[in-house]
Amino acid sequence: MVVVTEPIPSLEVAGLAFAYPDGHQALFGVDFSIARGERVALLGPNGAGKTTLVLHLNGILTGGTGTVHVAGLPVGKQHMAEIRRRVGIVFQDPDDQLFMPTVREDVAFGPAAAGLKGPELEERVDRALDRVGMAEFKDRPPHHLSFGQRRRVAVATVLAMEPEILVLDEPSSNLDPASRRELADILRSLDVTVLMVTHDLPYALELCPRSLVLSEGVIAADGKTAELLSDDELMRAHRLELPFGFDPRSVMGVPPREPGEAASSVREGA
């Protein structure tokens, strides 16, 4: 890469609009940018266009207006293979993601499609499985793992491609609390850019310093996760609700500003 004064962001989305062939328009001009190494949560109610946005990031959906750049490379027909290597998407249901007969082959699928083979491929697979702590399950068929293990293998399949940015669709869904924490530890230990699409606001707060709120096909808010989650008006306007008794201010160690209101929620939560 050429040295430039300003570092190239991992992901840059500008003016993205898209309508499905059935006429339903999902995105109405989305703009945001994520710097290298950042962990960002993408929050939004059902039907806000989150999945549609994700599918634009590696060029599965195209044909609307606007641009997406991944580490400076425009998403388009001519670089599709490189873009798909750089953007690693972990889908919501690990059963969709793990389509090969064994864990090892599944993790090897992406790098092998990119042309890697032999010991180099094997080494890549081992490293990816190691990073999610699933090395000893290498030769097992995916459908015989627990749900949490499958989700971790799904993350490994994407890590094996050494992506520029890791995109996770609802990573915490259907996980029991222990698996949830293990996944959080894994995600924190990675040194890649992470975009996490989620409804799970506490999880977003725990992992991502910054959040974007996608609502009605546009970015409605962009800022520090703790601040966004504390903004009751914003939250209500975009159908975002914290779990019963959860107070972001208490979690982040910020003293509650309005004692009366916060006290009640703390009491309920404790």
Partner 1 sequence: MHVPDGFIDAPTSAVTGVVAAAAVAVSLRGARRELDERTAPLAGLVAAFIFAVQMLNFPVAAGTSGHLLGGALAAILVGPYTGALCISVVLLMQGILFADGGLTALGVNITNMAIVGVVVAYVVFRGLVKVLPKTRRSITAASFVASVVSVPAAALAFTLLFWIGGTTDVSIGKVATAMVGVHLLIGIGEAAITALTIGAVIAVRPDLVYGARDLRQPLKLRVGGELVDAPAPEAARPVAARTSRRTLWISGLVTSLVLAGFVSFYASASPDGLEKVAEDKGFAESAEEHANADSPLADYGVKNIDNIRLSGGLAGTIGVGATLVAGTGVFWAVRRRRTDEAADVSPTSTSV
Partner 2 sequence: MGAGHAHRLYRHGHSPVHGLPPHTKLAATFAFVVVVVSTPRAAMWAFGLYAVLLALVAYVARVPAGFLLKRLLIEVPFVAFAVLMPFVAEGERVEVLGMSLSVSGLWGAWNVLAKGTLGVAASVLLASTTELRELLLGLQRLKLPPLLVQIASFMIRYGDVITDEMRRMRIARESRGFEAKGVRQWGVLAKSAGALFIRSYERGERVHLAMISRGYAGSMPVIDEVTASRAQWSYALTLPFAALVVCLLGWSL
- Footprint on this chain of partner 2 (rule: CB under 8 A): 55, 58, 60, 81, 84-85, 87-89, 91, 93, 95-97, 99-102, 105, 108-110, 112-114, 117, 121, 138-141, 143-144, 157-158, 161
Are 11 and 69 contacting, i.e. CB atoms less than 8 angstroms apart? Answer: yes
- Whichever of 92 and 211 has its CB closer to partner 2, that residue is 92
Strands 210-215 and 39-43: parallel
Tell me how far apart the alpha carbons of residues 226 and 211 are, in angstroms, rounded to a whole number: 9
Tell me the site size for partner 1, rule CB under 8 A.
10
Q: Does residue 258 interact with partner 1 by CB under 8 A?
A: no
Distances (CA, A) of 268 to 233, 245, 261, 262: 21, 5, 11, 10
CB 164 within 8 Å of CB 38: no
CB of 60 to partner 1, least distance (A): 12
What SS3 state is found at 269? helix
Min separation Cβ 108 and partner 2, Å: 5
Question: Applying CB under 8 A, which part among 17-25, 191-199, 237-245, 255-263 lies near partner 1?
Answer: 17-25
* Sole window of 18-26, 104-112, 189-197, 226-234 interacting with partner 1 (rule: CB under 8 A): 18-26
CA 110/CA 160 separation, integer angstroms: 7
Note whether 164 and 87 are within 8 A (CB): yes
Pair 97, 157: CB distance under 8 Å: yes
The minimum distance between CB 208 and partner 2, in angstroms, equals 22
Task: Name the token pair of 256.
Answer: 């509650």
Build a one-symbol-per-residue string for 26-65: x at contacts with partner 1 by CB under 8 A, - elsewhere: -------------------------------------xxx
For partner 1, which residue of 62, 76, 99, 264 counts as binding (CB under 8 A)? 99
Answer yes or no whether residue 6 interacts with partner 1 by CB under 8 A.
no
